[in-house]
A = this chain, B = another copy of it.
Amino acid sequence: MSTDLTTKDTELQSVIEQLVESYSACGHLHHLAHEPLPSREAVAEIVADLTELLYPGFGRRQDLHVGNIGYLVGGLVDGLHGKLTRQIGRALRHENPCDETAYPEAESEAEGKALELLRRLPEIRRTLEADVEAAYRGDPAAKSHHEIVFSYPGVEAITVFRLANVLHQLKVAFIPRMMTELAHSRTGIDIHPGATIGPGFFIDHGTGVVIGETCHIGQRVRLYQGVTLGALSFDRDSVGEMVHGDYKRHPTLCDDVVVYANATILGGRTVIGEGAVVGSNVWLTKSVEPYAVVVLDNPQHKVKGRSRPEQEALMYHI
């Protein structure tokens, strides 16, 4: 190191060297290779473009009408095919890392998967139409269908889920989860891209909702904020390590089930029967009959204190 470096420069140089050295050790936190990973920014852009196609007139491009909509759609679909192919190709090559020439079919495979997602868009729109209708019927505060499309976080989360779910079915790595985590970040609703969810699905408010990978959710199901559809415990292999994979760990909700705020339903064998209602804050690890209404029993609380001085004294014990 040259002697005319100031102390600060020497110190910074040392930080730089240690960091670079730390990347040469084997580790999971860096990816230094000529084959890049999918890009978070590109995935966000893809989600924005797909959303524009699903809900034209609500997004960035305004003043759309029957005379110009074809141009917007043409440009977006064409651009999306390229963007999707590029990112899916990165994910495919990363899953099969050998060497670059070992996976020559990655490009055409990526093209095919990109096309398949685009092909499914009209069908996804029909399902989302049922989801938005369910929101309108399920929320007395909803003023119009347009308000729901514009501002309901549940609609944003289910939209991104329905797109990511197609890529999950097509066995694309990374990207489906990157997409649903983008929606999770914006809405507080965490839906694993592997879940199975029927049409007419509505989540109101939504913050804190968690829907696990192996959930099965029927048609016209309604959830409120803070609902967990989770796992009870995890299978372990013979040396006690958790088994990674797709065995059913999360519950099944049949058609027309309603689950109120902050209820928790756990376990792969737990089935909530058709038309059943699970009340707010209920904690369930067993199946429920069709049309049953499960509510908290008499409030498990007591009332203490009725006057200001009594209250002041009690505050220290809450």
Contact = CB atoms under 8 A, between A and B. Distances in A.
A43 B183 CA distance: 20
Contacts of A212: 141
A28 B149 contact: yes
Nearest to A266: B280
A27 interface: yes
Interface string A129-173: 100110001111111111111111100000000000000000001
Interface string A51-66: 0011111111011111
B295 A146 contact: no
Nearest to A241: B137
Given A65-B32, A181-B153, A291 B315 contact: no
Contacts of A133: 28
A280 B264 contact: yes
Nearest to A288: B303
A190 interface: yes
Contacts of A5: none
Interface residues of A, number: 155
A96 interface: no
A88 to B, nearest CB: 14
A100 interface: no
Contact of A210 (B57, B129, B192, B261): B261
A217 to B, nearest CB: 17
Nearest to A118: B15
A299 B318 contact: no
A181 B279 contact: no
Nearest to A143: B173
Contacts of A128: 29
B283 A305 contact: no
A120 to B, nearest CB: 9
A192 B141 contact: yes
Given A22-B126, A27-B125, 19 more contacts: A8-B81, A15-B77, A23-B56, A23-B66, A28-B149, A32-B66, A33-B57, A36-B63, A153-B181, A188-B207, A190-B225, A233-B315, A277-B314, A279-B301, A279-B318, A281-B281, A291-B307, A296-B301, A300-B300
Ranked 7 nearest A-B pairs via Cβ: A31-B57, A28-B145, A36-B62, A151-B181, A293-B305, A151-B177, A293-B304
16 contacts: A15-B118, A34-B63, A37-B57, A37-B146, A39-B62, A41-B60, A94-B146, A142-B244, A143-B244, A185-B187, A277-B318, A282-B299, A284-B301, A285-B299, A289-B306, A294-B302
